[in-house]
Amino acid sequence: MTPTLFQALQAARKAKRPVLLATRLSDGAQALVGTDGAHGANLPEAVVAAARTALADDVARTVESEGARWFLHPHNPPLRLIVVGAVHIAQALAPMAPPLGFAVTVIDPRRFFATDERFPGVTLDTRWPDEAMAELKPDSRSAVVTLTHDPKLDDPALDAALRSDAFYIGALGSRRTHAARLARLTELGHSREALARIRGPIGLAIEAETAPEIALAIMAEIVAVRRRAPLVSPAREAA
């Protein structure tokens, strides 16, 4: 890889701009392709089209074009994990997420919880969840987890998450708490199908008890949903 190309790739990654590295395997010729297909190189159209698909799918693959094999390597920005509640479980969850490819933001307006001391190196947002969520704008590469148990904080975050494309929404709380929560969210106008997106009780069933165990169960469930592992959906389980 030439220094110029490497710098451009690192710059795109730093700016959290999705970019694909295309490599012709026969001679190592390389170019970067953006989501709009721009590449500033002499790439066959079919390769550019396949590159855009690979970037959207977030899957690396090889393609053949005009007798040459190309390796298409997407570099998408990190997935995001938005945690509501700077609680004990969040302290366990925050360091687990980055190695799994997630950039973490912890939202909690209660400043005695959301301190740098409790969350070293973690991005903290001390606005109210509705305000924070409006700016963070969860997308299809975002997971939203609510951990406060407090409807004043959890509900607005869940409301916003349900109106977004977040690929994972999970809420901490017992079955009873969750049923009451769903009733409140129904009053906010969310349908039964929409509410089925919320995973509650949150996390894979591993009999988690301690904060790190619960964090592990949550993180495992997020990875399972992202990788489309066959999981019993909360709605089906309840039915």
Residues of the shown chain interacting with other proteins in the complex, contacts defined by CB under 8 A: 1-3, 6, 9-10, 13, 23, 25, 27-28, 59-62, 71, 73-74, 78, 98-99, 101-104, 121-123
Distance CA 112, CA 140 (A): 31
Distance CA 67, CA 129 (A): 53
Which residues, in sequence order, are CB contacts of 138 under 8 Å at separation 6+? 80, 82, 144, 160, 161, 164, 165, 166
Please, what is the Cα angle at 118 between 114 and 122, to 5 degrees?
A: 75
Least spacing, CB of residue 4 vs other proteins, in Å: 10
Distance CA 142, CA 80 (A): 5
DSSP-assigned letter for residue 112: T
Closer Cβ to other proteins, 37 or 98, answer by number: 98
Least spacing, CB of residue 68 vs other proteins, in Å: 12
Distance CA 38, CA 126 (A): 39
Closer Cβ to other proteins, 119 or 173, answer by number: 119
Least spacing, CB of residue 30 vs other proteins, in Å: 8
Least spacing, CB of residue 232 vs other proteins, in Å: 26
Closer Cβ to other proteins, 58 or 165, answer by number: 58
Closer Cβ to other proteins, 9 or 48, answer by number: 9
Closer Cβ to other proteins, 192 or 228, answer by number: 228
Least spacing, CB of residue 187 vs other proteins, in Å: 37
Q: Residue 211: which of 30, 90, 125, 75 has the closest Cα?
A: 90
